[in-house]
Chains A and B, each alone.
Chain A
Amino acid sequence: MRSILNYIKDIVLGVWSLLKGMKVTGSYFFRPSTIVTQKYPNNRKELVMFERFKGEVVMPHNEKNEHKCTGCGICEINCPNGTIEVISKTIITEDGKKKRAIDKHIYRLGMCTFCALCVKTCPTKALAFSQEFEHAVFNRAKLTKISNKPGSQIMKGVQ
Chain B
Amino acid sequence: MPFDIRDFTSLTQWIDAGLRNALSPFWSVVIEMLIVGVLILVFYAIIGLFLVYAERKVCALMQNRLGPNRVGPFGMFQTIADLMKLLFVELVSIKNADKFLFNLAPFIVIIASFMAIAAIPFAKGLHAIDLNIGVFYVIAVSAMGVVGILLAGWSSNNKYSLIGAIRSGAQIVSYELSVGLSLITIVILAGSMQLSEIVIAQADGWFVFKGHISAFIAFVIFLISSTAETNRGPFDLAEAESELTAGYHTEYSGIKFAFFFLAEYMNMFIVASIAATVFLGGWMPLHVGHWDGFNNVMDFIPPFIWYFVKTFFVIFLMMWFKWTFPRLRIDQLLTLEWKYLLPINLVNVLIMAFLVLMGWHF
**Residues of A bordering B, CB below 8 Å:** 11, 18, 21-22, 24-26, 28-29, 32, 34-37, 39
Knowing A21-B324, A25-B320 are in contact, say whether A11-B62 is a contact too (CB < 8 A). Answer: no
B321's nearest neighbour on chain A, judged by CB, is A22
Knowing A11-B340, A29-B58 are in contact, say whether A35-B324 is a contact too (CB < 8 A). Answer: no
Q: How many residues of B contact A (CB 8 A)?
A: 15
A residues near B324, Cβ cutoff 8 Å = 18, 21-22, 24-25
The 8 Å CB contact of B64, one of A11, A35, A39, is: A35
| Residue pair A25, B62 in contact (C-beta under 8 Å) | yes
A29-B320, A37-B65 known; 7 new pairs, CB 8 Å cut-off, are A21-B324, A29-B61, A29-B62, A32-B61, A34-B64, A36-B64, A36-B65
With both chains docked as a complex, state the minimum distance between the C-beta of B315 and any C-beta of chain A, in angstroms: 14
Q: Is B17 an interface residue (CB 8 A)?
A: no
B residues near A25, Cβ cutoff 8 Å = 62, 320, 323-324
With both chains docked as a complex, state the minimum distance between the C-beta of A17 and any C-beta of chain B, in angstroms: 10
| Residue pair B63, A28 in contact (C-beta under 8 Å) | yes
Instruction: Give the most central of A11, A26, A35, A39: most B CB within 10 Å.
Output: A35
A residues near B321, Cβ cutoff 8 Å = 22
Q: What are the interface flags for B49-79 relative to A under an 8 Å C-beta threshold, 1 for contact and 0 otherwise?
A: 0000000001001111110010000000000
| Residue pair A21, B61 in contact (C-beta under 8 Å) | no
Query: For the complex, what is the distance from the CA of A28 to the CA of B324, rounded to whole Å?
Result: 11
Query: For the complex, what is the distance from the CA of A29 to the CA of B321, rounded to whole Å?
Result: 13
**Residues of B bordering A, CB below 8 Å:** 58, 61-66, 69, 320-321, 323-325, 340, 344
Query: For the complex, what is the distance from the CA of A36 to the CA of B63, rounded to whole Å?
Result: 9
| Residue pair B66, A37 in contact (C-beta under 8 Å) | yes
19 chain-A/chain-B pairs, Cβ below 8 angstroms: A11-B340, A11-B344, A18-B324, A22-B321, A26-B62, A26-B320, A28-B61, A28-B63, A29-B58, A29-B61, A29-B62, A34-B64, A35-B61, A35-B64, A35-B66, A36-B64, A36-B65, A37-B64, A37-B66
B residues near A18, Cβ cutoff 8 Å = 324-325
With both chains docked as a complex, state the minimum distance between the C-beta of B158 and any C-beta of chain A, in angstroms: 34
With both chains docked as a complex, state the minimum distance between the C-beta of B340 and any C-beta of chain A, in angstroms: 7
With both chains docked as a complex, state the minimum distance between the C-beta of A15 and any C-beta of chain B, in angstroms: 9
With both chains docked as a complex, state the minimum distance between the C-beta of A26 and any C-beta of chain B, in angstroms: 7
A residues near B65, Cβ cutoff 8 Å = 35-37
Q: Give 5 nearest A-B pairs by CB, closest first.
A: A25-B62, A37-B66, A25-B324, A21-B324, A29-B61
A residues near B64, Cβ cutoff 8 Å = 28, 34-37
B residues near A35, Cβ cutoff 8 Å = 61, 64-66
A residues near B63, Cβ cutoff 8 Å = 28
